[in-house]
Structure 1
Amino acid sequence: MRTCLALDLKDNPEGIAQYEHLHQPEHIWPEIPAGIRAGGITDMQIYRIGTRLFMIVETAEGVDLNDAFNEIGKLPRQAEWAVLMDGFQQRLAEAQPGEHWAKMKPIFRLNA
């Protein structure tokens, strides 16, 4: 199942550059992608325009994304990574209570 999420980065060019740097394959902590996969997420992509981040998450059949994120958060270094990333990020005004990345509503699918 595909889910799309949005979040903003703090409007700080140096912080944005550091955020992108930390997400490059040669700089991301190896526990992070390993933990994401272990949680049942089969693909994850993050895109940026300005300060807006857009994440596409694909989960295995029958995997609830909230449950996957909760399980991932219990794995080694994931909580440390989340705290580090939180220093760069800010929630959207549209985010629901308790929601860090705001879930986006699908409005068009070519192959629905």
Structure 2
Amino acid sequence: MKTYAQALDLKDDKDLIAKYENYHKNVWPETIEGLRNIGVLRMRIWRVNNRLFMLMETSDEFNIEKFQEYADQNPRANEWNELMMNFQQQIPSPTGDWWSPMSLAFDSEWFN
């Protein structure tokens, strides 16, 4: 299993943030199915103010660099991604990715 951590900001607008969270309480079934079909085993998103943190657990075969190719296989997933971009804004990232990849700074397992 692989684990990915990523960060992104929402536009700093209470109404938009409420809409974003409402969408995520009612995710389209095709979106969840599409994630599972490409090897995403679990995806969780946390929020503090307008900052989002996503933790994604995937199969070993999953390649995050091909995520857009995967999304292109599912038009409804692409529609979801485009809709969500209305609520989001990038944070500074050396890679220029929409969701900024995070590096692991600490793991208590390092000390076992």
TM over 0.5: yes
In the alignment, structure 2 segments of 5+ residues that lack a partner are: none
Structure 1 unaligned blocks of 5 or more:
none
Give 1:78's aligned amino acid.
Answer: A
Q: Distance in 2 between matches of 1:53 and 1:64?
A: 22
TM superposition shift of 1:65:
1.7
Equivalence for 2:39: 40
Percent of aligned pairs with the same amino acid:
35
Q: Which has the higher helix share?
A: 2
Distance 1:52 1:92, change over 3 A: same
Q: Provide TM-score, normalisation by structure 1.
A: 0.90
Give, in angstroms, the shift of residue 83 of structure 1.
1.1
- State the AA in 1 paired with 2:91: L
Partner of 1:7: 8
Aligned positions, number: 109
TM-score, length-normalised on structure 2?
0.90
Q: Distance in 1 between matches of 2:69 and 2:90?
A: 18
Match of 2:102 in 1: 104
CA change 1:30–1:40 in 2 (3 A) is: same
Residues in 1 aligned to 2:3 and 2:68: alpha-carbon distance in whole angstroms: 14
1:21 is matched with 22
